[in-house]
Structure formats: C-alpha cells, structure tokens
Amino acid sequence: MTSQSVSLTATGATVRGRKRKNIRPEQGSVTPPAKAQSAPRDTRPAGIPAGWRVIAAKEFADHVSSIRFLVLTLILTLAAAAAVYSAAGGLRALAPSVSGAQSLFLGLFFYQPEGTSVPTFVYFTALLGPVLGIAFGFDGVNGERSEGTLPRLVSQPIHRDDVINGKFVAGLAAIAVIFMAMVAVVGAIGVLQLGILPGLEEVVRLLVWIVLAVVYVGLWLAVALLCSVVFRRAATSALVSIAAWLVLTLFAPLLVGVAADVISPQGGETLPELIANETTRRNLSFISPSQLFTESTRAMLDPSLKTFDVTAYLQLQFEERALPSVLSLDQSLLVVWPQFVGLVALTSGAFALAYVSFMRQEVRA
C-alpha cells in the first residue's frame, strides 16, 4: 500500500469520526428537507370531557342534592298547584259555555276566576322565578373563595373560564328540571280537574314557555353570578341581587305608572290620550325583565292574544269589535319574538359582565 492511499484512509477515518452536523454537503448534493413543525396536539386522553362539562356535572349534582333545591322546588310547586287548582275550578264552572273553545287546557296557567284572590300560575312564576336564579348563583364564586377551594380549582389542568361557564350551565340545568317538574304537576292537576288531555300544539306551547322561563330565570342567575364575582362576601351578593329583583319586579310598575302619568297625562280619558298614556307606560315598562316575560307568556299560553300594539288593542277594546279567533303556534311565535330576543340579550349581557369580571380578577392561594 502506498503512502498516498494510507493518507486517504486516515482522512476518511477522521471524517467518519466527526459529528454529522459538522460535515458540509458536497456541491451538487441534495439536502433532505427539514420536517415541518407539527401543530400542538391535545394531550388530554380520549374519553375525558371538557373542563366546563366536568364542573357543570359536579355543580348540577350539588344543586339537585341540596336542601336549597328541595325547599325551592316544594315552595314553587305548592304555589303553582294552588293557582292551577283555583283556575281549574273557575274553568269547570264555565265548562258549559266554553266546551268548544280551543286551547282550554292552557287556561289553567293564566286564567283567574272572578272573585278569587289567588294569583295565576304565570304571576307566581314571574314573581318568584328570580328567586331560583339568585339562590343558585349568589355564592357561585365567592363561596369557593371563602372556602379556599377557588385557587385549587383554577390550578387544575382546565381553562379558567371553564369554572364560570360550568357553574352557569349547571344552574340553568337545575332551573330547567324544576320548571319541567312544575309543569308536569300542573298538567296532572288539570287533567284530573277538567278531565281533558292537552293537544299536540298545547304541549309544544308549554315546551316553548319552559324555554322562555329558563331564559328569564337565567337572567337572574347571571346577575347573581356577577354579584358573587364582584363582592367578596356571599351575604352581600345575595342582598344586592335581592334588591335588584325587588326594584325591577315589584317597584318598577309603580314607578313606571307615575312616570307615564307625568309624561303623558290623561285628563279627559279620550282615545288619543289613552293611547299616548298606554304607549308611554309600555315603553317605560321594558326596563323590567318581568314585563318582557309576562308579555311572552301571555302570547304563548293565550292564543287569542293577537298583538301587543297599544293603538290596535285599544281601538278594538274601545270599539268592541275584537274578533273571536285564535292564532296558530307560528303566529304566536312571531308576536313574542321581540320579547324573547330582549330576554336573551339581557341574559347574555349579564353573563358577559360576570365572565369578563371573573377573567380579570386575581385569584390568590
């Protein structure tokens, strides 16, 4: 072997002993393309639900098994049963004259016999329904903070907004269960008292009404969650939520009536003055969520209600030329659509405020 070949062999051994990253590719060689960086994958094992679902399931189980849930369900069911029993007695007395009337079964929910002081079912719902939302949400966040479990909860491998999302969904689910139970009890009493079964359209109207009621009570649930985020003590958040409920539900009609009489006084009680006063009163009453819910309920459960237009309604009443006809389900939905959109907008806005406040709040261990 010549000296030149030995030198080449030694050089080759030296090259093979170097690290590969230090070897420069020869001219004309093709460099393999670098592997594209893969997108981050979800490291959560398959079959494990999202964080808000876990929290919602746990909160829902706590709600349903709590004494608070049982007491509220019992109170509302007893109030609804008393109202429906009174309405059934009045409808049974009118049975000979209204035997051919349509949607007679729905009268159990809004009919109030003359001479009785028992409010209707929808009145109880509009008045006491917000108590459900306040009861399920006033200590949603500050209760966790006072017990020292909020820092540990947000430190889990879940997104921070899953906490408040799960609590809100759990509250809505518990409210929906209560309303479905109430409607079932009311329907059973109506069948036993009147001896009639609801038709398919009446059942659909009741289901739509349950959705309206859940959205209405969900508004107060969102308000209570907002108070639980803003205020550190559960007692303070409950007090503020109850104060808002009293002002917007009980005192709002009185304040609206006084303001309407000042803005549009009705001296001679002529038709134009009545129309102006009622229009002002109705426009101002929209500051109360219970007004939106009451109007939606009336249109869904009373097919004979054709419009909320004050001018058309007062003209029909003044001239005594109201047509004895009923609306179909889709026509009633068109009547209540503005009120339903207003309730959804208010609920979404209140929950958005609670969401933003919670996300910006500092949670310390």
If the chain, 365 residues long, is cut into consecutive pieces of 10 residues, what is the mean pLDDT of each piece? 43 43 47 48 52 90 92 89 80 57 74 78 88 92 86 82 93 94 86 81 91 95 95 92 91 85 74 77 85 88 73 48 68 89 94 94 73
Q: With contact defined as beta carbons under 8 Å apart, do 261 and 252 qualify? A: no
Identify the pLDDT of residue 321: 46
Would residue 65 count as lying in a domain?
yes
Indicate whether 223 belongs to any domain: yes
Residue pair 108/190 in contact by the 8 Å Cβ criterion: yes
Q: Residue 288: left if φ>0, alpha if ψ -120 to 50, beta else—which one?
A: beta
SS3 123: helix
Which pLDDT does position 107 carry in this prediction? Answer: 81
Classify residue 38: in a domain, yes or no: no
Q: Give per-residue pLDDT as tens, 319-351.
A: 444 445 678 888 888 888 988 999 999 999 999
- Whether 112 is in a domain gets the answer yes
> Would you give the DSSP letter of residue 25?
P
What is the pLDDT, as a whole number, of residue 316? 47
Question: Given CA atoms 63, 66, 68, 70 in this order, what sign does their dihedral have?
Answer: positive
43, part of any domain? no
Residue 309: per-residue pLDDT = 60
User: Residue 1 has what pLDDT?
Assistant: 45
CA gyration radius, the chain:
32
> What's the domain count of the chain?
1
- Residue 186: per-residue pLDDT: 83
Domain-located, residue 41: no
Determine, yes or no, domain membership for 62: yes
The confidence score (pLDDT) of residue 157 equals 81
- Alpha-carbon torsion angle 69, 73, 76, 77, nearest 10: 180
User: What is residue 11's predicted lDDT score, i.e. its pLDDT?
Assistant: 43
Dig out the tokens for 364 from the structure: 């310390």
Domain that holds residue 124: 51-360
Q: What does pTM read for this prediction? A: 0.79
Rounded to an integer, what distance in angstroms lies between the CA atom of residue 315 and that of residue 319? 6
Q: How far is CA 13 from CA 1, 16, 18, in A?
A: 17, 5, 9
Residue 252 within a domain:
yes
Q: Name residue, tokens 């079959």.
A: 47
DSSP code of residue 30: P
